[in-house]
Amino acid sequence: MSDRPFIPRDRDWHPPSLHPPYRSTVKRAPAARPLAIAPGRAELSGPVFAAETLHPLDHDLIANYAAALGVEAKPIGERLIVHGRVLDENARPIPDCLIEIWQANAGGRYRHVNDSYLAPLDPAFGGCGRCITDGQGRYAFRTIKPGPYPWPNGDNEWRPAHIHLSIFGHALSQRLVTQLYFEGDPLIALCPIVNAIPDQAAVDQLVARLDMAKQAPFDALAYRFDIVLRGRRQTYFENKREGG
């Protein structure tokens, strides 16, 4: 159980539930302001994850799908290392935190039955991975940079390249979902989902930064994305707009 109280959210930091330029919010936004309920023992405890429950290639999206199929093919696209730290609201590292990611391939297509985008599937890329943070809250994935893709929000709108993340801390109240973007992508400023966030500093928290110090020479560029769970300094999470 947490030994420090939650720091309440700053509701102005997060976007409104209703943002008409992001069309799907018109139908799903609540009519009344959500209530903030103080967490109890059930929300502040468990679960516990162990590194030995993961496959050795779970963190390596470049290899895990092809290895599961028993083929030697490599995914097509720009090879990346995405890494960072998971911290609590008091800047303490969160070890043994389960992080799951999913993404489109280099052409902008997801390996999902409902994705009908005309870009081809990559036979060597599944687009899913997971890892557990170490004692200092550090995590790392090897993957392919996802491509942008069009989406039916308007007449001709495109999502920036992004990776979805599910982060599960040491309490049920810390299971949160977000997505990261890549530094320098001009589509970030044009995205209705991003533009629903009122504070540019919050948008900046969703942008992974190029980190040449962590590159794999002649192999993969690196991007750093740090995550803060809970509190006023929390990374913006798409499933927690109401605050906690």
Q: Name the catalytic one among 22, 149, 223, 236.
A: 149
Answer yes or no: is 237 within a domain.
no
Mark whether 110 is an active-site residue: yes
Identify the active-site residue in 159, 170, 230, 241: 159
Domain count, the chain: 1
> For residue 134, is it within any domain?
yes
Catalytic-residue membership of 164 = yes
Q: 97: domain CATH number?
A: 2.60.130.10
Give the range of the structural domain holding residue 172, as residue numbers without chain letter: 11-228
Is 27 part of any domain? yes
Give the active site residue among 109, 162, 170, 241: 162
68 part of a folded domain: yes
> Beta-strand (E) ranges in the chain?
79-87, 98-103, 128-132, 138-144, 149-151, 157-159, 162-168, 176-182, 207-210, 221-224, 227-228
Q: Domain for residue 244, yes or no?
A: no
pLDDT for 242 equals 38
133 inside domain: yes
Residue 53 is predicted with a pLDDT of: 84
- Cβ proximity of 205 and 189 under 8 Å: no
pLDDT tens sequence across 141-156: 999 999 999 998 888 8
Give the SS3 label for residue 44.
helix
Q: Known catalytic residue: 149?
A: yes
Is residue 30 assigned to a domain?
yes
pLDDT tens figures, 68-104: 999 889 999 999 999 999 998 888 899 999 999 999 9
Whether residue 127 has pLDDT greater than 90: yes
pTM for the model stands at 0.87
- What pLDDT was estimated at residue 113? 93
pLDDT score recorded for residue 51? 74
Q: CA-CA distance, 107 to 162, in Å (whole number)?
A: 12
User: Does 6 map to a domain?
Assistant: no
Higher-pLDDT residue of 66 and 23 is 66
Catalytic residue among 22, 110, 223, 236: 110
